[in-house]
Structure 1
Amino acid sequence: MTAPATTQTDRWNVFAIIAFVTVWFTIILGLVFGHLALSQIKTTGEKGRGLALAAVIIGWVAVALGALAAMFILIFGGLAISANT
């Protein structure tokens, strides 16, 4: 395990920016880039932790909402089909 960087640089982490943009279009890529960015920021001290964290939070919330929607459709769709027979 590497120690966190002691000084913060003025550079922005590119993965953090990419993660925040892509999470709105492709959730999985946004999550992957967000987790990569958080890992890099911990070791390099670059800027962008907030962007990466926002991408990860938005991504996991979207995954959870998608799973709930899928369960809702499966449960109530199955009930509607069985009610018609």
Structure 2
Amino acid sequence: MTYPPSGGTPDPYQPAQPYGQSSDPTTPYNAAPDPISGQPGGYPPPTSGQPYGQPPPYGQPPYGQPGPYGQPVYVQTPGTNTMAILALVFAFIFAPVSIILGHIAKKQIRQSGEQGDGLATAGLWLGYIFTGLMVLVCIGYGIIIAFAVSNSSSTY
């Protein structure tokens, strides 16, 4: 009987043969030379300059030598403007300061190219809104106090 059985289908009770292994159990695995490189065993020739079978060197290359992809490029992107962050924070703490910080931040961002223009704009808007609300509340208190004083009786 021949292996695999005639008919083209492998025997379902036999384990599958690994890729590249002959169906003849007496032939060692990958003993035939590779048709592309001509190396015995079908392995490609070593390309790293290391002796065949040795692992490649690990770790970083010595100082001053570029790695396999060249030297890394470090690009510093401008950060977020600190005044813009403070403008947004102070909009909730003390709004008039937020207006001042927001204008300073927008000027610095135009000059330096930093990020944070949206934060400065939000700080300005909130600063103006909360300052306006604070002024309206103070005027309302003044009206209430004036009304209370004018209607109070001073007959003691």
- TM-score using structure 2 length: 0.45
Q: What stretches of structure 1 of length at least 5 have no aligned partner?
A: 1-8
Whether 2:87 is the aligned partner of 1:19: answer yes
Paired residue secondary structure (2:137): helix
Moved over 3 A (4+): none
Partners of 1:77 and 1:56 lie apart in 2 by 31
* 1:7-45 deviations in Å (ceiling 9; x for gaps): xx5421111112212221122332222111011111222
- Please tell me the residue identity of whatever aligns with 2:138: A
Distance 1:53 1:60 in 2: 11
Tell which has more relative contact order, 1 or 2 (C-alpha 8 A, sep 6+): 1
1: CA distance, partners of 2:92 / 2:149: 34
Aligned to 2:16: none
Alignment-mate amino acid for residue 41 of structure 1:
I
Higher helix share: 1
Aligned residues: 77
Mapped to 2, the partners of 1:26 and 1:76 lie a distance apart of 24
TM-score, length-scaled by structure 1: 0.76
Q: After superposition, give the CA deviation of every residue in 1:32-84 in whole Å (9 maximum; x if it has no partner).
A: 22111011111222211111011111111111111111111111221122112
Q: CA RMSD in A?
A: 1.6
Which residues in structure 2 correspond to 1:34-49 (within 5 Å)? 34-49=102-117
Partner Cα separation in structure 2 for residue 80 and residue 64 of structure 1: 24
Matched-pair contact (CA < 8 Å) for 2:102–2:124: yes
Q: Tell me, which stretches of 5 or more residues in structure 2 are unaligned?
A: 1-76
For 1:52, the equivalent position in structure 2 comes to 120
